[in-house]
Structure 1
Amino acid sequence: MSEINFDKPFMPFDGMVEKLRSKHLTINNDIDKKLLRILLKDYGYSFIINGYKHPFTHKDVNGNEFFNDNVSVQDIYNMYFIDSTLSELLFKNALHVENKLKATLGYIIAEEYGVDSNLDSDSSYLNSDNYTDNGKSSNVLGKIRSKISNPYSSSRLLKHYKTSKNHIPPWILVQSLTFGELIRYYKIQEEDVKTKVVNNFLPCKEQDVANTKALFISSLELLRCFRNSAAHSSPIYFFDPYTDEKNTNEKILPKKELIKFLGPNIFNNNFDPRIKNFGRKDLYGVMLVLILLLNTLQGRAFLRDLQNFNNTLQDETFTNIEYLKYSHLPSEYIQRLENARKHLEENILWQIL
């Protein structure tokens, strides 16, 4: 049997260091080498190097990749630090939106259809008659019902209700749903239920309901994709949520509606027009969605945390400039977000009483 020459054979840490040196990464002394070994040991070559090298590399005429002049190990670590810290901050706030959606949807379903979870009862809030028949309802409801009928449910909360209560109210059931399942559950609701949910986040006039619903679902989908990416520790500076998904045009944030809620200054920029859908399906778009869907106190806290984080960085450092460039974040993105929040509070959120 012939021996296989594997594309990616095992390589010891010293070999990885020499490989990076041959690619012109600046390793001047033992301190650089020690830092590099720590990064390789703690994070792995694929994650820390392949994940954060992109702003610092180029290819020669033969297609071989090299680091740019004077790129150091510290530059790569700084890129990772900025990206991972920002990811944690955005992820925390995405959870606030997810939890509010659970609370809102659970409350409204109970208000509309009651709390009977008996799957054999006509009065059950999970009766298919309570949901729109959009071709996906039966599949979505089947998976949700299985959480009640499955005796081996992994949710401790559901187990508690199954063993100590005589029903599982909707505000408890939604707690067991993933963000993706929660969004799909929202999608199969009747239009009047959707309207009530949307108005809890984005109050709007009757003639604007359809457009606001489109903005709301696009916002949730973008946040879902970001949440999944961040939860798996993927670098977010080149976040592109719909690379492998279908019907992506339906999931891009509608620019007109964004401006209506957040004001025109969010897109007042001199960005390269080749950056397609700027602020509508990228990292900046995720930030806009958080400003849009967080409540007033959460939105203000989010902006404070962003500003505090930004204060720890030196605006003109090489790494920070490269991060803004590759993530397509405007240099004054925090000010834009603050203006958007102010516009939202003064023109929209006052309607929630």
Structure 2
Amino acid sequence: MDNQKPFKTIEEQIKILNNRGLIIDDETEISLRQFGYYSIVNGYKWLFLSRNSVGKIIKPERFIKGSSFFEIRGLYDFDKELRSILYKALLEYESNLKAKVSYIFCKNHPEEKSYLNVKNYRDYKHNSVNKTINNLDNTIKKYSLKDYDNAIKHYLNNYNQVPLWVLVNFLTFGDINYLYRNIDEQVRISIAKEFSKKYKDNYNEDVKIQVESLDSVNHLVNNFRNAVAHGEITYYMHLTKGPSFQNIKKDLNLKT
């Protein structure tokens, strides 16, 4: 079978871009060698391609007259910086959520391994609760078998159990999101109150953040965190399906 996408040298890549009407500069070769044709061109060319009267990209592809590689690289750099800013904020939120979930859950359920008890969840007969508990248990087993030292192995070897405030540091955001969704309602309410206090500390404004609002925020954060962490195109990312954010706007007194 013929190779539909044969290998192209940097020189051949530049020639393709030039033949399609893109203005090439001295930095083009350096950029392609450093970051790759796919990451820069295939990821960020779309705003610069010629389109027909109904907005469809003309085939074979041609760049809009006057478009340059410098502009495409600029959009690539902008998106890279945007991901860096978002990632920092998303990690801070993740750390806040993990700290609040573990602290308040353990305060309400101080018994050992309470997070493995189905009765400490709001709908303990639901499959999602069993899935959450199994995931927590499997995370402990996974890190207990690692060939390097870690906090989970330390607590198992010395105390025969792993506190939730230790375990949360080994959970993905998706894991902590599902945990928050399934823990008992009073704990969820208490966590939402803590975020309300944090909002007042940051913005000097009294708000009452509802548990459903945090569910919506967590859904949004989970999607964007994964995209940002894996270097996906971010500047035009949107969710095709997701929760309503009307409750968030209401909680934060946002009119738009």
TM-score by length of 1: 0.63
Matched to 2:153, the amino acid is K
Q: Cα distance, 1:83 vs. partner?
A: 1.1
Residue 141 (str. 1) matches residue 137 (str. 2):
no
Contact 1:186–1:194 under 8 Å retained in 2: yes
Deviates more, 1:151-160 or 1:45-54: 151-160
Matched to 2:9, the amino acid is P
CA distance in 2, matches of 1:259, 1:72: 44
2:215 to 210, 214, 217: 217
Residue 22 (str. 1) matches residue 19 (str. 2):
yes
Map residues 175-324 of structure 1 onto 2, 5 A cutoff.
175-202=169-196, 212-242=210-240, 248=241, 251-255=242-246, 257-264=248-255, 267=256
Residue 97 (str. 1) matches residue 93 (str. 2):
yes
Q: Cα distance, 1:253 vs. partner?
A: 4.2
Match of 1:47 in 2: 39
Q: Cα distance, 1:63 vs. partner?
A: 2.5
Contact 1:115–1:125 under 8 Å retained in 2: no
CA distance in 2, matches of 1:111, 1:256: 28
CA distance in 1, matches of 2:149, 2:222: 21
Deviations, residues 236-287 of structure 1 (Å, cap 9, x unaligned): 0121244xxxxx2xx33423531540532xx3xxxxxxxxxxxxxxxxxxxx
Identify if the C-alpha distance between structure 1 residues 234 and 155 changes in structure 2 by more than 3 Å, giving closer, same or farther. Answer: farther
Identify if the C-alpha distance between structure 1 residues 241 and 38 changes in structure 2 by more than 3 Å, giving closer, same or farther. Answer: farther
Residue 158 (str. 1) matches residue 152 (str. 2):
yes
Could you list the structure 1 runs, at least 4 aligned residues long, displaced by more than 4 angstroms after superposition: none
What runs of 5+ residues in structure 1 fail to find an aligned partner?
Answer: 118-123, 243-247, 268-353
Q: Cα distance, 1:155 vs. partner?
A: 8.0
Matched to 1:47, the amino acid is S
CA distance in 1, matches of 2:149, 2:68: 46
Deviations, residues 97-129 of structure 1 (Å, cap 9, x unaligned): 000111001001111111512xxxxxx341111
Q: Cα distance, 1:202 vs. partner?
A: 2.9
CA distance in 1, matches of 2:20, 2:31: 17
CA distance in 2, matches of 1:213, 1:23: 52
Identify if the C-alpha distance between structure 1 residues 62 and 93 changes in structure 2 by more than 3 Å, giving closer, same or farther. Answer: closer
CA distance in 2, matches of 1:139, 1:21: 53
Match of 2:164 in 1: 170
Match of 1:277 in 2: none
Identify if the C-alpha distance between structure 1 residues 225 and 5 changes in structure 2 by more than 3 Å, giving closer, same or farther. Answer: same
Task: Give % identity.
Answer: 27
TM-score by length of 2: 0.85
Classify the secondary structure of the residue corresponding to 2:238: coil
Q: Cα distance, 1:147 vs. partner?
A: 2.2
CA distance in 2, matches of 1:79, 1:254: 29
CA distance in 2, matches of 1:155, 1:213: 37
Q: Cα distance, 1:59 vs. partner?
A: 3.6
Classify the secondary structure of the residue corresponding to 1:65: coil
Identify if the C-alpha distance between structure 1 residues 93 and 155 changes in structure 2 by more than 3 Å, giving closer, same or farther. Answer: farther
Q: CA RMSD in A?
A: 2.3
1:56 to 14, 37, 48: 48
Matched to 2:173, the amino acid is F
Contact 1:83–1:235 under 8 Å retained in 2: yes
Q: Cα distance, 1:212 vs. partner?
A: 2.3
Q: Cα distance, 1:214 vs. partner?
A: 2.1
